[in-house]
Amino acid sequence: MTAARPTALPVVQFHSRAGCVDLGWGHPHPAALPVDAWAEATHSALRRYGAAALTYGYAAGPGPLIEWLCERLAEVDAGPPEPAQVFVTGGASHALDLVAALLCRPGDVVLVDSPTYHLALRIVADHRVEMVPAPADEDGLDPTATAELIRAIIRRGRRVAMLYLVPTFNNPTGRSLPNERRSALLAVAARSGVPVVEDDTYRELAYPAPAPASLFSGAEPGTVVRIGSFAKSVAPGLRLGWLTAAPSLVAAVTARGYVDSGGGVNHTAALALAEFAASGAYRRHVEAIRVRYRRQRDALVAAVRAELPQAEFVVPDGGWFLWLRLPHPYGGTELLPHAEAAGVSYVPGRQFFVADAGHSYLRLSYSMCDPETLVEGVRRLAGAYRAAGLSERSTPLPG
Ligand SMILES: Cc1ncc(COP(=O)(O)O)c(C=O)c1O
């Protein structure tokens, strides 16, 4: 291998800070990225498809990837989409941006689960809509109260463009919406006409598998758009994901000017992924990372139980996150500077809410660190908790 060209410009999004155990980032463990198998898949795609691998791709994504994805979703979900219901995207973020571009008009209301993936809030906000939290409790989004809220918003003369949630292994809570609520939410979507955007990014990271059936698989046609990603199951740098939706929505995405001009999104990487899948590497890889992330989850859970028994949490059945609630109403917000000073970091719960809420919570990610590092991170966090004196103070701070 030749040496990398020296550059003063960054190569990657995240660099670990010296001396800091960073439990903030939802990034894969470096050893879980399939470098050699991906090199093989890329060669294989180039050998098999030749120039067709390097030219503009078919608008909805290359056929071999779409067909395999439908087969895979038949295995890991309650039912597969039809190929005409699939569009390959540049990751789930891109899928959400595309869907929002199609469904939202400036000034619309978009309902979002609370808490929900904080960076999805950024993507939705780009579309100049008003985000309103959908009513939720410990079990997740409350469909009955959400239906009432939709009616109230419409009575005020506003349009509700869509409802966004991560019903399976939610980021940040790790929890999945119970089945009765899934059915009730599908009924609300069908009755109200408000499209549900289901972020299914963590489906493959189920410990133990299988994940619950998606909303999409049980929905009336045209009521749910589901977005997915290969960022967690293979590698985020690929920028590959997908959406499944009514063929009319797929056709509308396909007709967008930049697809018309540029062809299918990330065509060469998409063909390499099709090879990665066809060779069996995808299946082996997902089985291996399930074992890894489950071990990392268990290490973090055990460490929090031992070192920080004041924290309440539910052990997640999948995903990458542990969602802790501290007894102090501002615990998650106030602890952060103490934690950083002690050499550990996390994302404060407030960031996952549209409203000014969630200050008692914090999100720890177990994806990026070995079990020993997770244990050390929690040891530091517990030290910071004692240093902050949060257990002694029960009165909330102002604001
Ligand atoms: C719920 C959720 N959706 C989407 C994403 C982003 O996915 P992608 O990298 O495919 O854009 C993430 C990444 O953290 C996520 O947690």
Report the CATH number at residue 63. Answer: 3.40.640.10
pLDDT at 392: 63
- Look at residue 299 and tell me if it is in a domain: yes
Q: Which atom of ligand 1 is the closest one to the Cα of 229?
A: 10
In degrees, to the nearest 5, what angle opens at C-alpha 365 toward C-alphas 312 and 181? 60
341 is a domain residue = yes
Pocket test for ligand 1, best of 98, 119, 347 (most atoms within 8 A of CB): 119
Asked which of 279, 302, 327 is the last residue of a domain, the reply is 279
Domain end call among 227, 256, 279: 279
Buried b vs exposed e over 204-232: b needs ≥16 C-beta within 10 Å?
bbbbeeebbebbbbbbeeebbbbbbbbbb
Q: In terms of domains, do 304 and 262 share one?
A: no
Let me know if residue 88 belongs to a domain.
Answer: yes
Q: What is the CATH number of the domain that holds 28?
A: 3.90.1150.10
Do 27 and 121 belong together in one domain? no
Ligand 1, residues at Cβ distance < 6 Å: 26, 91-93, 117, 120, 166, 171, 199, 201, 229, 231, 236, 241
Residues 220 and 304 grouped into a single domain: no
The tally of domains found in the chain comes to: 2
CA distance 336 to 334: 6
86-97 in b/e burial notation, b at 16+ Cβ within 10 A? bbbbbbbbbbbb
Ligand 1, closest atom to CA 96?
4
The residues near 51 (Cβ < 8 Å, ≥ 6 apart) are none
Question: What is the spatial distance between Cα 218 and Cα 272, in angstroms, rounded to a whole number?
Answer: 31
Q: State in Å: Cα 154 to ligand 1 middle.
A: 30
Same domain, 64 and 183: yes
Q: Is residue 42 part of a domain?
A: no
106 shares its domain with 222? yes
Read off the DSSP letter of residue 177: -
110 and 215 assigned to the same domain:
yes
Check residue 393 and give its pLDDT: 57
Distance 201 CA to ligand 1 centre (A): 6
Q: Give the domain range for residue 237.
A: 52-279
Tell me, yes or no, whether 120 and 243 share the same domain: yes
Q: What pTM, to 2 d.p., does this model score?
A: 0.96
Cα–Cα dist 131/170, whole Å: 18
**What are the residues whose beta carbons fall under 8 Å from the beta carbon of 78, sequence distance 6 or more?**
213, 214, 217, 218
253 and 296, same domain (yes or no): no
Per-residue pLDDT tens listing for the chain (399 residues): 677 777 888 888 877 788 999 999 999 999 999 999 999 999 999 999 999 999 999 999 999 999 999 999 999 999 899 999 999 999 999 999 999 999 999 999 999 999 999 999 999 999 999 999 999 999 999 999 999 999 999 999 999 999 999 999 999 999 999 999 999 999 999 999 999 999 999 999 999 879 999 999 999 999 999 999 999 999 999 999 999 999 999 999 999 999 999 999 999 999 999 999 999 999 999 999 999 999 999 999 999 999 999 999 999 999 999 999 999 999 999 999 999 999 999 999 999 999 999 999 999 999 999 999 999 999 999 999 999 998 765 555 444
Is 173 within a domain? yes
Do 268 and 294 fall into the same domain?
no
User: How far, in Å, are 22, 24, 304, 322, 336 from residue 372 at the CA level?
Assistant: 13, 17, 13, 17, 21
Quick one: 211 and 170 in the same domain?
yes
Find the 152 Cα to ligand 1 centroid distance in Å: 31
Residues 258 and 312 in one domain: no
Helix (H) or strand (E) holding 247: helix 247-254
Cα 170–chain centre separation: 7
Is 371 among the domain residues? yes
Q: Which of ligand 1's atoms lies nearest the C-alpha of 94?
A: 11
Q: Is residue 313 part of a domain?
A: yes
In a domain, 189, yes or no: yes
Ligand 1 site-directed mutation target among 12, 229, 351, most atoms within 8 Å of CB: 229
Could you tell me the two tokens for 301?
Answer: 């859970």
Q: How many angstroms separate the alpha carbon of residue 292 from the centre of ligand 1? A: 19
Shared domain for 176 and 241, answered yes or no, is yes
Distances from the Cα of 91 to the Cα of 79, 166, 200, 308, 345, angstroms: 22, 15, 12, 36, 26
Last residue of a domain, one of 230, 256, 279: 279
